Structure formats: structure tokens, C-alpha cells
Amino acid sequence: MAVFSRGFTGRRHEQNDALPPGQYLTEDFPVLSAGPTPKVPTDTWQFSVRNENDDVTTWNWDEFQALGPEEIHTDIHCVTRWSKLGTSWRGVSLDRVFEKIDTSFEYVMASSYGGYTTNVPLADLLDGKAWIATEFEGGPLDPEHGGPARLLVPHLYFWKSAKWVRGLQMLPTDEPGFWEQNGYNIYGDPWKEQRYW
């Protein structure tokens, strides 16, 4: 049963079909990170994928850009309840990355410079649903927003879009990453409000 808040009317411009339940619109770009922002120069940046046979496929910055970045227009939703609609990014589709990877495992642990980890099922990274993003709104991605490169999985809550991403590890089963061990949902669908466990 709802408890009504005496005298509260709210701001109705926030009603919008693009807004998942329990979210509000923001125009700025809040920063949420568990620790200091790592500073990763692109000339030493590497990105790698490790499969079940411990085969590691590694790209440096130029090799990775050669996979062919694309423009991305998407809405993003943070578990702390802000959403940002119509954001523009540029990044490499993970479909391009996984063309090079031989795996039958169905789960992925993403890891970052600085030690952050997050888990995502492989199916959520394929078919045009996820990217390694290197630009935001026409410029290089700022370090506090995950630059030089972050995972972008916009159909899940934004903690899944690991900042400062450096690699993906293929896993046979779903295992919790950093925030997933610290109170957040294992999957994180904003339309089902899968915020916490």
C-alpha cells in the first residue's frame, strides 16, 4: 500500500516512456567510481580477451581502432537512479572483437585498469548491444568517465559498463564482479529494476 507524501506533487516533465521505472532524467553526467581515477595513456593501453584454453588475444590502441569504431546513440541508466537520454558515443562493437575469439563459454568477466570487475553474459555483449567506447559527445572519453576506453552495455545498469576496461575473461558460469559482490544485482536490467540483491 502506497504511503502518500503530504504536499508532494513532483516534477511531471520527468514522465517519459524512455525512462525505466524509478529513474529520473539528468542533463549532466554524474561520476560514480569506487576509488581514484586511473590515468591510462593510449600508447601503453592494451585490451585483451582470454578464452577457456587461456588463449589471449591482445590489441594495442591502434590495432583496436583498426577494428572499425562506429557511432552509437543510446540512453544510459545508472542504478543510483539517474538516466541520460540520447547520448552519443563512438566505439568498437564487441561483435568485431568476438569475430576473432574462439570460445564456447557463455559468461564474461570484464576487468579494468584499477582493479574493477563486472560480469556480463556473452549474449548481452553481442548482436549490436555492446561496445568498447573511446569517445563521448564528439571528444575523447574523459578519464573520470572511463577514458581512454570503457565498456558500453547500455541496456543494463551503467555499472556494467566498466570504466578503464582492459580485458575480458571467458567463464563457464556467471560469477559476481565488484559491485555484484557489494550489494548489486547479478544481471542489472533497468526495465525490471534489478538494482540490488
Partner 1 sequence: MTSTWKVGTVAAIHAETPTARTLELDVPDWPGNLAGQHLDLRLTAPDGYTATRSYSIASADSGPRVQLAVDRLPDGEVSPYLVNDVIVGDELEVRGPLGGWFVWRPEQTEPVQLIGGGSGIVPLMAMIRAHEAAGSTARFRLLYSVREPGDAFFAAELAELERSSEHLEITWVYTRKTPDGWPTPAGRVTPAILEASTISAAENPTVFVCGPTGFVEAVADILVELGHSSGSVKTERFGGA
Interaction between residue 11 and partner 1 (CB under 8 A): yes
Q: d(Cα 87, Cα 127) in Å, to the nearest integer? A: 20
> Closest separation between CB of residue 154 and partner 1, Å?
18
Q: Which of 19, 20, 38, 174 binds partner 1 (CB under 8 A)?
A: 38
**Smallest gap, in angstroms, from Cβ of residue 155 to partner 1?**
21
Q: Does 179 bind partner 1 (CB under 8 A)?
A: yes
Is 140 one of the binding residues for partner 1 (CB under 8 A)?
no
Instruction: Classify residue 95 by burial, with Cβ atoms within 10 Å: 0-12, 13-18, 19+.
Output: middle
- Least distance from C-beta 150 to partner 1, angstroms? 14
Between CA 144 and CA 89 the distance in angstroms is: 15
Of the CA atoms within 13 Å of residue 101, those in its CB half-sphere come to: 28
Q: How far is the CB of 184 from partner 1 (least distance, A)?
A: 9
Q: Check if the beta carbon of residue 13 is closer than 8 Å to that of residue 61.
A: no
Q: Which of positions 95-114 make contact with partner 1 (CB under 8 A)?
A: 114
**35 is a contact residue toward partner 1 (CB under 8 A):** yes
Segment interacting with partner 1 (CB under 8 A) among 22-30, 52-60, 97-105, 169-177: 22-30
Which position has the grid cell 517519459? 16
Asked if residue 44 binds partner 1 (CB under 8 A), the reply is: no
What is the β-pairing status of strands 82-93 and 24-25? parallel
Contacting partner 1 (CB under 8 A), which of 4, 43, 71, 104?
4
Considering CB under 8 A, how many residues would be counted as binding partner 1? 41
Nearest to 93 by CA among 179, 177, 154, 38: 154
